[in-house]
Amino acid sequence: MKTLDTVRNQLEIGEFDFSRHALKRAVERNISEAEIMQLGKAAILIEEYPDDKNSPSCLLLGYTQAGCPLHLQVSLAERPLVKIITLYQPNPKEWIDDRDRR
């Protein structure tokens, strides 16, 4: 299983790919690969999903250079690239300070 530091480093240098769902969401929400790379190194862990459907995963929070918060759910499976499962801007009606569920 990948460590959080490994995931952060891979996000920062662009060593990631998207699930079909994540790619669709990135296009719909106009989230670029550059924005994902910007938040990579400083991303913080906000939730863990050890029993996720296909492999353990986690939810990360990071901010783009423009200060936009992004949530990334990523697989922690040992594979060459980090798999992004989904990504979105946290809804303030659902999240407190972008990190705690209401």
What pLDDT is attached to residue 41? 84
Return the SS3 of 8.
Answer: helix
pLDDT in tens, 18-71: 999 999 999 999 999 999 999 988 999 999 999 998 899 999 999 988 888 999
Kindly list the strands in the beta sheet with 82-88, ordered across the sheet, starting from the edge strand earlier in the chain. Answer: 16-18, 82-88, 69-75, 57-63, 44-49
Are the beta carbons of 72 and 52 closer than 8 angstroms? no
Delimit the domains of the chain by residue range. 4-101
Q: 6: closest CA among 43, 33, 38?
A: 43
